[in-house]
Every structure is written in C-alpha cells, then in structure tokens.
Structure 1
Amino acid sequence: MTESSAVYRRRRIAAIVGAAVAAALIVFAITQLTGSNAAEPSKGGAPRAEATPKPKPAAELPRGGRTILPDFRVVAYYGAPQDKQLGALGIGSPTQMTKKLERQAQPYARKTRPILPAMELIAVVAAAHPGDGDRYNLRQPDSVIRRYLKAARKAKALLILDIQPGRSDFFTETKRLRKWLKEPDVGLALDPEWRMAPGQIPGEVIGSVSAREVNATSAWLDQLVTHYNLPQKLLLVHEFTDDMVPEAQLKPRKGLAYVMNVDGFGGQALKIAKYKGFAGQDQQFRRGFKLFYQEDQGMMSPAQVMRLQPRPDVVVYE
C-alpha cells in the first residue's frame, strides 16, 4: 500500500467515524427534543401527532368578566390594621370586615349593575417622622398585604393598594408593589393629600401632585395590564381641593378603570356641592365619592348617594 493510499484510508475512516458520530449526535438531539418514540410509527403506520397545548384562559375579575366599569359599582372599605383611626378597614380582622363590607355594599346593587366589593388597604402610610431613607412613610410588610388579599379573594372582592407617599413619590412606591399589582384582582389608589414636597411634613400641610407624576404612574400600570393580559384594573385618585391634582392634564388609559374620587369630610350640603363641582370639570374620568363614619356630619345614606349626578361608580367608606 502506498503512502498516499494509507493516508486516503485513514482520512476515509476518520470521515466515516466522524459522520457516524455526527449522525449519532443528531439522533440523540432529536430524541431529546421530541422524545425517544418520536420516530416510531403508530400501530396504524402514521406518526403520532403531538397534542396542541390548550391556551391559558384569560384571568377574570373576582365576580366574573374582565371589565370593572361600567359593569360593576365598586363599594370599598378604606384603612389599615395599625390603627382604627386610619379607617374602617382596620377595625377588626380582614375576614370580619369583608362581611361588614358586603352588608354595606348591598344597597348599591342594581339588577343591571351588581356591586363589586373592595378593600382599600393603605399599603404606604404617611408618617410624621423621617424613617428609612427620610421618606416620611411606612411600608406595609408583605405579610399584611397577603393577609388582606387572601380575605378579599375569599369574599370575591378586589384589593386596592393605597399609597400615601410622604416625601417619596407615587411612581417609586407603585413600582415597589409590582408583584401585587400584576395580580388580576389588585388595584391602585393614589392619595395626593399625603404627597409632600421637600421640607414638608405629613399632617402639617395638605399635599399635592403634578400631572407628570400621575401620568407616569398610570402609564406604567397600564403597561402592566397589557403585559400580563390582565382584566381592567382600578385606579383611584383621591382629591378634595382644586389644586391637589391638575385633573385637566391627566391622561386616560385604555386598560384602567380610572376614577377621580371626591374625598373630604363635612356636612351633606358641602359634600354634595364639592362632588358636583368636581364632576363638572372633566368627563373623561369616572367619579367616586367618599364617606366618613366618624367625621361626616350626618353621613349620607346609600339612597342619598345614589341621587348624586352623575351616580358615583365607586363609593368608599372610611
């Protein structure tokens, strides 16, 4: 055998071995990707077709459907467990409050428009002391939010996370709550009364917020709804003075049930006049109305609230 023939044979053997190895690797890869029986014919002689996975159904609201407004009228309890002075929601256990909430909400139900109860938990509580990072707020631990979400789900109610930012801002505090807000039954509330400028202390002055900050926050929340294919998400913005929120500059969002909630306690005539004043400003947002068990002078009944024009889409009890 000549040297050239020997070289040729060695090269050929190497090529055959290489091809065999390559083929083995391809078969192994196919087996791993499709299963060891993928190449085996079925008893009928034709290859077995793989089952098409069923698409995951779109998440719905606690009482069905994917649209909050105008399909439902939302009735909420507001507060936090740290102190009953923070609102009705903090009086008693979350489970006890859902039962009281259901009773309070029933007079607002109509055959053509059922009620959707909600628990508005103050997830970020404004504080008179600097605290961590000089934020002048206290953030609820996950364990508290989880407890209220569990109770809300048991009652087929929404959980609304309310933000009193202190010297922080709504955008920062909202993004922190992302893991909760990506749930289909968790909404958001912004409380500009407690949005402090540098040097201001919660409780000493009435706060306010820029349209830019609210628009950035609502845009982020709307994107979250789109990304996770969530049902319409409730966004409440509380207001009780004309300069608290520049409403005319706010942008509506397709994925949000966007509600301007008329806040503030007082006598019936004052509250009705304030509601009419805010309701007449802009028609691009839904309207809410807040009642106070302790501070209102002669708290309005559900029948009186339902005589307001336009009828509130959201009613909050503190």
Structure 2
Amino acid sequence: MTTASGRRPGLRWVVVLVLGLVLGLVALLALAGATELFDQDSAAPAGDVGSADPSVTGPTVSPSPTGSPTPSPSPSPSSTPSPTPSPAPVPVETPQPRERVFAGNRTLVAYYGTASSGALGVLGEERPDAIIGRLTRAARAFERPGRPVQVVFELIVTIADAVPGPDGDFNHDIARADVERYVRAAHRHDALLLLDVQPGRASFVDVAKRWTWALRDPRVGLALDPEWRMTRTEVPGRVIGRVDAAEVNEVSLWLANLTRRERLPQKLFVLHQFRTSMIERIGRVAVRQRLATVQHVDGFGTGEQKIATMRAVLRADKFHSGFKLFYDEDVGLMSPARVLAIRPRVRFISYQ
C-alpha cells in the first residue's frame, strides 16, 4: 500500500535507524583509538629503570623495582628510555683513560710531596713539567715484560699544622692554582694525580669534599694519611694519629658515588699506614669496585726493617700493596729489583 506521494510509510524510519547505527560504530572506533593512545603514553618505556651500583652500599639515584642491584663489575650508565615497544640497547660510555687503575698488569710509581717545596718530598723540588723526567726514569726501573709502569704525582693538598689556624682544625689547603697546575700536567704527561690529605682535627670526609672539583677529573684519585688524623685534644706532630674503619668507609662511599655520578673510570684510593693502630678495625674497611684501594706501607729504616713493617701491617687479602721509599731517611735505599721481589707483589711504589 502506498500514499498519494508514492512513498512507503516505514522507509523514513529505516533510513534514520541505519544512520544511527553508522554513527554509533564510528564513535566506538574513535573511543578505542583514544584508549590505545592513553595506554601507550602512560606505560613506562623500556629501559626506564636504572641499575644500582654493585660497589656502593648507599642509596642510588634510580633504584630497580626489586631493590636489588644489577650485578656488574664495572660502572655503567642507566639505560636510555625508549618510546618504542622494543627495548633500546644500553648506551656505552665514552671510553676514559685507565678504565681500571691496575689494568694491563700495571705497576704504579709515584713521586710524593707538595707544591713548590722539597721539604715534604721529592715531588716539590721542581715544577711538575720538570720533575716528570726524573719520575719517568725512576718508574722505568720497575718496568718488566708484561708489567708496564704508570707514573703518578702524589700531591699533598691539605697539610696538617701544629697550630689551630683560622678554622681551629689544625690544617691548611695549598692554593687551588697549584693543584690545577698538576691536573694539567697529569693530562699532558699521561700521569695520574693522587691528592693526599692530612686532616688534623677535621674529618677525612670533610677535607676530601673540599677537593671535589679536582676529583671530578678522571685522572685524579685520593689518599688518606691517618698519621695526621687527630682527636679533639691532639696536636699534629706530637702523636701518631689514627682513623676508624667507619670513617674510611664514609670517605670511600662518597668517592665511589662521585665516580658513579660523574661516570668516571675507576679511581685510585690509597690508605697510608706504618702501624697497625693507625687504621682501627681494618678488617671492616669496605673494598669498592669503583675504587682501586691500596694499603700503602710507609716507614723508613733498613730494607729488613721496612719489609718487617710491611709483613706486620699489610692485609694483602683485601687491598693492593703499596710501598714507600725515602731518598733521605732510609738506611740504604732499596733497589727496584729488591722491591719487585717482595711477596705479595707491590703494585704501587712511591718515593719521598
């Protein structure tokens, strides 16, 4: 049946119904697409979680969800976040000189002293660019097949004093300009620079932090000399100082964290000692992978006396071995061959 206009009465409603279904389908597709985009934006990108430093026991910048460190023997940066579904490869650090201090079976040979004065050691007898020739010749005497040598400037940057000084801490720092000269010389001559600190009544970590600017350099390490670590009532030069393992660990943790944050190669970390009492609870001193820790046995005398001191003090199961030679105070300067014959093997020799 048709009307006078010739149209079927239900056709209009059929058209309306079809249009409604089409519009509804379009809306559902749009909503699904928006939901997918939201899910992609809110998901954590692959590689967004950093790995903890296995050599540092303190807090890390970006801990993993499980709270456990990624087992890795050497420093590596956190993975770079990737917006793609597939994980991006972990970026490789730009290679730094001397990634591991003793890599290649190296022996380190140092001149010890402070800037512009030979009173505290041979290093200060000449400018760094002049003394490097003497140091290089001394180091070559320790070179053996398969055992190359690495020269080191060991520079006393904080010197203990017999008077309190303006801060009352019985120490003073040498001029920054002097340290900068040695930093530049280390780069020119492919040397390492070791900053030696004598804290007086200050703590080692407080003094070390004053040299943060220099320790950011990849060639610069740190040495602690407990002989000059005084209590609140002691005066440098009147007694032999001492430090507890807890304070050493505080310094090494700070230095390892600095090395990690700055993405630096392994740093040289030296502990001077010639009496067992100078480092209390030495068995609790932490050894950190980002630091090459050397127990450096000082003390002057005959060769037999020096070796006896070394055997009494050295903890070769924990640390690399260091040994000091005194040009003036030793009774019969030990030859390089005799030093190299010491067992366990000496890895760091310094001349004062």
Q: Same fold (TM over 0.5)?
A: yes
CA distance in 1, matches of 2:137, 2:341: 20
Q: Residues of 1 paired with 2:211 and 2:273: CA distance?
A: 22
Secondary structure of the structure 2 residue equivalent to 1:101: helix
Q: Give the equivalent residue in structure 2 for 1:66.
A: 99
Query: How many percent of aligned residue pairs carry the same amino acid?
Result: 41
Structure 1 runs of 4+ with >3 Å offset: none
Q: Is the 8 A contact 2:316 2:344 kept in 1?
A: no
Q: Which residue of 2 aligns with 1:277?
A: 312
8 Å CA contact 2:116, 2:125 repeated in 1: no
Change (3 A) 1:99 1:243: same
- Among candidates 290, 295, 298, match of residue 332 of structure 2: 298
Distance 1:200 1:288 in 2: 28
Could you tell me how far apart the structure 2 residues matched to 1:176 and 1:263 are?
25
Q: Which runs of 5+ in 1 are unaligned?
A: 1-54
- Contact preservation (8 Å) 2:112, 2:155: yes
Query: 1:164 Cα deviation (Å)?
Result: 0.4
Match of residue 255 from structure 1: 290
Q: Is the 8 A contact 1:136 1:202 kept in 2?
A: yes
Aligned residue number for residue 141 of structure 2: 107
CA RMSD of aligned residues (A): 1.4
> Is the 8 Å Cα contact of residues 159 and 198 (structure 2) preserved in structure 1?
yes
Query: How do 1:2-21 residues align onto structure 2 when only pairs under 5 Å count?
Result: none
Amino acid corresponding to residue 290 of structure 2 in structure 1: G
Q: Which among 143, 146, 152 is matched to residue 118 of structure 1? A: 152
Cα contact 2:169–2:202 (8 A) shared by 1: yes
Cα displacement string for residues 157-195 of structure 1 (whole angstroms, at most 9, x for unaligned residues): 001000000111110011111111111000000000000
How far apart are the structure 2 equivalents of 1:146 and 1:240?
30
| Structure 1 residue 56: Cα displacement | 8.3
Distance 1:273 1:150, change over 3 A: same
Q: Which moved more, 1:163-172 or 1:74-83?
A: 74-83
Equivalent residues of 1:58, 1:229 under 8 A apart: no
Residues 232-285 of structure 1: per-residue CA shift (max 9 Å, x gap) = 100000000011003211010010000000011111110011112223x45021
Mapped partners of 1:92, 1:260: distance in 2: 27
- Aligned residues of 2:151 and 2:192 also touching (Cα < 8 A): yes
Cα contact 1:70–1:313 (8 A) shared by 2: no
Structure 1 residue 105: Cα displacement: 0.2
State the distance in 1 between where 2:159 and 2:151 align: 22
Q: Tell whether 2:161 aligns with 1:161.
A: no
Is the partner of 1:159 in helix, strand or coil?
A: strand
What TM-score, normalized by structure 2, do the two folds share?
0.72
**1:130 equivalenced with 2:176 (yes/no):** no
CA distance in 2, matches of 1:282, 1:90: 31
2:117 is aligned with 1:83: yes
How far 1:70 moved relative to its partner? Answer: 4.5
Moved more, 174-183 or 106-115: 106-115
Shift of 1:93: 1.1
CA distance in 2, matches of 1:59, 1:195: 37
Secondary structure at the aligned position of 2:258 is classed as helix
Alignment equivalent of 1:238, drawn from 262, 269, 272: 272
- 2:208 aligns with 174
User: Rg: which structure is higher?
Assistant: 2
TM-score (norm 1): 0.79
Looking at structure 2, the residues matched to 297 and 268 of structure 1 have their Cα atoms a distance apart, in angstroms, of 7
For residues 198-244 of structure 1, what are the alpha-carbon distances to aligned partners after superposition, in whole Å with 9 as ceiling and x for unaligned?
A: 12111111100111110000011111111111111000000000110
Alpha-carbon offset, residue 155 of structure 1: 1.1
* Total equivalences in the alignment: 260
